Amino acid sequence: MKLLIAVPTYNEIENIEPFIKLVFVHIPSWAEILVIDDNSPDGTADAVERLAEQYPGRLHLLKRSGKQGLALAYLAAFEWGISRNFDVFLEMDADFSHNPGYIPEMLEKIQSCDVVVGSRNIKGGKVEGFSLIRNLISKGGSLYSRLVLGCPVKDLTGGFNMWRKSALEKIGLTTIISRGYSFQIEMKYKAFLAGCAMTEIPIVFSDRKKGKSKMSRKIMLEAFVNVWKMKGASGRDTGMDQFVKFAVTGGLGTITNLVVFFLCADLSGLPEIPVSVGCFLIAVTQNYIINHRWSFKTQTAGTGLSIKRWCIYTAGSLLGLAVNIIIMKLVLLNWELQYKFIAQACGIAAGMVVNYILSKYAVFRKRENR
């Protein structure tokens, strides 16, 4: 096995020498380090060149013409390493935030998976020294991207990750659209989509003591937007998307129900009960069609509308209504509420969950061999 540790640097003169020396203490003799420097004005590259004499053949420098962002630095490093037959790659910051003491454990884990993620957001992992606001941004960013992308990795934004060459090849590095830190999210999301086996190990991330973070508002904004681009490019719906679309469809159904009711009962003077039943059927039919064509499109692709499935959907809606009424009644019986509509809201929520589950797993279930 050949390991390449890729370390991007921009103005890390205060950290780079002691950092590299410390990393060499923790890694096996068959591991090498590549520093990718974007022509740091503070002379980081020169320091690396000087130090390289002490580690012949094991410390390399890739100089780039100017600050081009984290993503291009890493992509250049991967390309550099792949062409030199490295089979495992480790991403690492140069500012001591990533403790090289974790490398042996990561190497052990990579034997049985494709990607090892150093994770601050699982049990045993944490962040030290972040201000409250930076912590919020980091945690919020992770949660936001996880929810939008529907990706189970707990630390999507982290930058201490180990990759097998085969995982990098599966991802398709030329498809990466990120230029800033959203690169970390995109790599992990694409690895997840490509079916890579991913393992998270807990790490303690300590904020840098020296030098400055290169995080900027521009980088955050890019990440915020890119998450949606990645999602769009994947053509994949998450459970969250389906639920939101399902809820919107239900809302539209309610509007149709009320409009038809107004037209028939108020304007035309027809009797309310048959009108109400008719409205229910019209709304259910509309919901069935929109859910089939839109909310659960990724599951129903290639199948048509069917009377049988409409019947199941309608039965499901009636069941949802029954649950709605039962829960509403139970809430009223057990709590003394100032307003009854609160109980009705609980009923609606419960009925909706029942409907959603039936829709997802019964009515619009993905069918094999089509």
**What does the binding site for Mn ion look like in residue numbers (CB under 5 A)?**
93, 95, 97, 208
Residue choice 27, 47, 61, 70 for contact with ligand GDD (CB under 6 A): 70
State in angstroms the smallest separation of the CB of 36 from ligand GDD. 5
Candidates 49-57, 89-97, 295-303, 312-320 — which segment interacts with ligand GDD by CB under 6 A?
89-97
In the region spanning residues 176 to 195, those forming contacts with ligand GDD, defined by CB under 6 A, are 181, 184
| Site for ligand GDD contains 97 (CB under 6 A) | yes
Beta carbon of residue 206, minimum distance to Mn ion (angstroms, whole number): 9
Q: Which member of 36, 48, 51, 107 binds ligand GDD (CB under 6 A)?
A: 36
> Which of 69/81 has CB closer to ligand GDD?
69
Specify the residue, 10 or 86, whose C-beta has the smaller distance to ligand GDD: 10
Nearer to ligand GDD, 7 or 328 (CB): 7
Instruction: State the binding string over 207-246 for ligand GDD (x if CB under 6 A, else -).
Output: -x----xxx-------------------------------
Question: Least distance (Å) from ligand GDD to the CB of residue 323?
Answer: 43
Q: Which one of the spans 91-99, 249-257, 307-315, 331-339 is the region binding ligand GDD (CB under 6 A)?
A: 91-99
Q: Which of 2, 17, 49, 67 binds ligand GDD (CB under 6 A)?
A: 67
Contacts for 144 with CB less than 8 Å, ≥ 6 apart: 224, 227
Q: Which does 119 bind (CB under 5 to 8 A by kind): ligand GDD, Mn ion, none?
A: none
Segment contacting ligand GDD (CB under 6 A): 82-90, 151-159, 298-306, 345-353? 151-159
CB 18, min distance to ligand GDD, A: 13
212 vs 340, which CB is nearer to Mn ion? 212
162 touches 116 (CB < 8 A): yes
Cβ 58 to Mn ion shortest distance, Å: 24
- Residue 317 contact, options Mn ion, ligand GDD, none, Cβ 5-8 Å cut-off depending on partner type: none
Token output for 202? 């807990």
Q: Which strand ranges, in their side-by-side order, compose the sheet holding 88-91?
A: 59-63, 31-37, 3-9, 88-91, 161-164, 115-119, 198-202
How far is 5 from 197, CA to CA, in rounded Å?
Answer: 20
Q: Which residues bind ligand GDD (CB under 6 A)?
A: 8-10, 12, 36-38, 67-70, 73, 93-95, 97, 138, 157-159, 181, 184, 208, 213-215
